Chain A
Amino acid sequence: DAKTTQPNSMESNEEEPVHLPCNHSTISGTDYIHWYRQLPSQGPEYVIHGLTSNVNNRMASLAIAEDRKSSTLILHRATLRDAAVYYCILSNSGGSNYKLTFGKGTLLTVNP
C-alpha cells in the first residue's frame, strides 16, 4: 500500500489560515487522497477527499500537486475547535479495497 508522510505537529493562531502538508510519493493512479481529523476523545471524522483536481467543501480545501506526489489540506480560518489530529490517507477505489490505513497524523494546535 502506498504510504503518506506528515509532520508530527503544527501550530497555528486562531483565525489564520493553516496549510497541512502530506507527501505520498508512491501514490498510484487510482489512489484517492483522503483527509480525516480526530478531535480529542472522539472518533475520526471525514474532512475532504480528492483524486486529481483541487477540492473545496464547507470545512476545508484540498490542493493536490500536479504530479499527485503531495497534497495540502487548507483550513481557511482556524478556530479553536479545529485543534485535532489530521490524517492524510490513501485508498484505492479499485476492486473491493475500501480499507483506510491511518498513520500517526499531524497534531494541530490552535493558539487563541
Chain B
Amino acid sequence: NAGVTQTPKFQVLKTGQSMTLQCAQDMNHEYMSWYRQDPGMGLRLIHYSVGAGITDQGEVPNGYNVSRSTTEDFPLRLLSAAPSQTSVYFCASSLRIKGGSTDTQYFGPGTRLTVL
C-alpha cells in the first residue's frame, strides 16, 4: 500500500489565486481529514469527512472547501489564496471503528504552501 499520498509537495501562489491540494489513500479508510501546521505550532483541523459524500468543518475551515466523492480521495480547495494560508498542510486517514476507540490516523508527507 502507498498509504496516504499528497500532491504537490511544494507550492507557491500569489494572493487571490486558487488551487487544489490533492490527498489520496489506498487503505479503504472511511475517515479522512485535513490539518494545517504553522511554524512552531501543533496541527489544527480544517475539514474532515467520515465517508464518501459526508464532510464537516473543523477548527479553522474559513477559506477552504472540501468534497468527498470517493472513498479514496479528499481534495482541499483554496478558492482565493491569502498570505495567512501560508502553512504546511497534512492529510490524514483512519479506519473508522464503530463503537470502539478512535483508530490510528495515518498522515501524508505534507504540502508546503507559500502565498505571496
Contact = CB atoms under 8 A, between A and B. Distances in A.
B62 interface: no
A45 B48 CA distance: 18
Interface in A45-63: 45-46, 49, 51
Contacts of A45: 107
Contact of B90 (A44, A46, A96): A44
Contacts of B106: 46
Interface stretch (A16-24, A65-73, A75-83, A98-106): A98-106
Contacts of B105: 36, 44, 46, 100
B53 interface: no
A105 B42 CA distance: 7
A51 B100 CA distance: 11
Interface residues of B, number: 30
Interface string B9-27: 0000000000000000000
B109 A102 contact: no
B43 interface: yes
A102 B101 contact: no
Contact of A99 (B4, B58, B109, B110): B58
Contacts of B52: none
A42 B104 contact: no
19 contacts: A32-B101, A32-B102, A34-B102, A42-B110, A43-B92, A43-B109, A46-B104, A49-B101, A93-B102, A98-B48, A98-B94, A98-B96, A99-B33, A99-B48, A100-B102, A101-B45, A101-B59, A102-B42, A105-B42
